[in-house]
Amino acid sequence: MSDSSLQTSRRQFFLQTGAGLGGIALGNLLAGDAVAERLTTGSSVHHPPRVKNVIFLNMAGGPSQLDLFDHKPELVARHGQPVPKELVDGEKFAFLRGELELLGSPFQFHRHGESGAEISELLPHTAQMADELTIIRSATTEAFNHDPAQVFLNTGSSLPGRPSMGAWVSYGLGSECADLPTFVVLNSGTGQPLGAHAWGNGFLPSEHQGVPFRSQGDAVLFLSDPAWMSRAARRRSLDALRELNTIEQQATGDPEIAARIASYEMAFRMQASVPGLMDLGQETGDTLASYGVERGKTTFANNCLLARRLIEQGVRFVQLFHRGWDHHGTVVGGGIDAHLPKICRQIDRPIAALIGDLKQRGLLDETLVVWGGEFGRTPIRERTVQTRYLGRDHHPRAFTIWMAGGGLRSGMTYGETDPLGYHVTTGKMPVHDLQATILHLLGIDHQRLTYRHQGRDFRLTDVGGQVVREILA
């Protein structure tokens, strides 16, 4: 191989990886000048938006809709009976084997609010917000294992590599804040691992990927300067680096170099803006208590309060991932009888506080809150040698998602499942329909928000998706 080809290969290597070397955790960050102007103004508002921000509460692992939002008296009455053969003929399951029996919920349901929404006793605080919720009992997905289903929920494809919903929103609408990322990710809980492809930018420019914030230490890794570096020295070093990157960009025309410059500049501004934002001590004692905040810890409650603070500052899309909803009948997976009540206590009060806080501050009308996991749970009990708990298998055929905020018919329950909770009978909402509806509320036509890649136009909803107008106000 010639010296020139070696030089070209080396150059291409650094072009392809350089953006990650300086800011892999900051790839979504905006910059000043032309890049910031393009991202801030946005160009994909196709109709008047009903909301301008999204808080997506992703319950990773698959919450059991049959024990939380989809009450099935007939299933309870037939608890322990054999599963009707016609119900499951030809079906594939992740763990169910042998003779199958029905599993009724061991928890009580009650009607709440003027809407009369039926909500489980496990969510008493959320139930107080029943008239703010639009409960969708008829969601469906195409995958029945965790990672493909999470990728599908977030990117519209079960294969990794596509842009996530938050990245599409960032690409389409841009930012409302010059000093913070457009798309922020907050993680809590334990359980199934989550890959960064759930909040990645895919083939969109790297400034659109989600930026994970942490509740402990630096909000973003490597954001702080070393003790020996002054603020002025940091500014001089960035100026020199910007000059070098600009020379390289002019020579190669690589747009990722602009994203690299953007990430450095945004990181510099975030060094001033983020510490105050992450300081929950600025909130009143009543607010901290209402959320159940534990200062200095990484909890779902802390992340809910951070989400409200981020939205207030103009962050466009905030996604909270809370792991721990994989409730099988095994000791490892945990069951709905022993483990579901515990995780519900982790999320119930913070969610109610978040909705109430947004409403009290006049933010709920311009914010869309979405709650749900990657799929639901079967009305069938798992029976294995390891069984210690009441467990349910993965169920893509029917699960529950709820939304709250501007543009929705609040206090509404949409869609139905059969008396045993297995199949959707009315109002079926595939994941692509959910994605199309979320984009619609943001003022985006999902069919027109596209990006050309490898010779074709891609979109979040692939070749499907319909806006579910029945749930819109």
Query: What's the confidence (pLDDT) of residue 372?
Result: 98
Which tens digits make up the pLDDT trace of 151-184? 999 999 999 999 999 999 999 998 888 788 999 9
Q: What is the pLDDT of residue 8?
A: 41
Model pLDDT, residue 16: 44
CA end-to-end span of the chain: 65
pLDDT given for residue 354 in this prediction: 98
Residue 39 has what pLDDT? 39
Low-confidence ranges of the chain (pLDDT < 50): 1-41
The pLDDT score that the predictor gives to residue 257 is: 79
Domain boundaries, the chain: 18-226+255-471
Here the tokens at position 450 are: 């596209």
Query: Which residues face 392 on adjacent strands?
Result: 381
Beta strands in 281-355 (DSSP E): 317-323
CA–CA separation, 363 vs 184, rounded Å?
18
Q: Determine the pLDDT at residue 173.
A: 95
Q: Is 436 within 8 Å of 40 (Cβ atoms)?
A: no
Rg (CA), the chain: 23
| Helix or strand holding residue 414 (H, E) | strand 412-414
CATH of domain 18-226+255-471: 3.40.720
Q: Among candidates 166, 159, 172, 150, which has minimal Cα distance to 201? A: 166
Nearest-angstrom CA–CA distance, 43 and 38: 8
- For residue 94, what pLDDT is reported? 85
pTM of the model: 0.85
- Residue 217 has a pLDDT of 63
Cα separation, 292 vs 302, in Å, equals 8
> What pLDDT was estimated at residue 223?
65
Residues 20, 12: Cα–Cα separation, whole Å:
14
Which ranges of 128-230 would DSSP assign to H, the alpha helix?
Answer: 146-155, 165-173
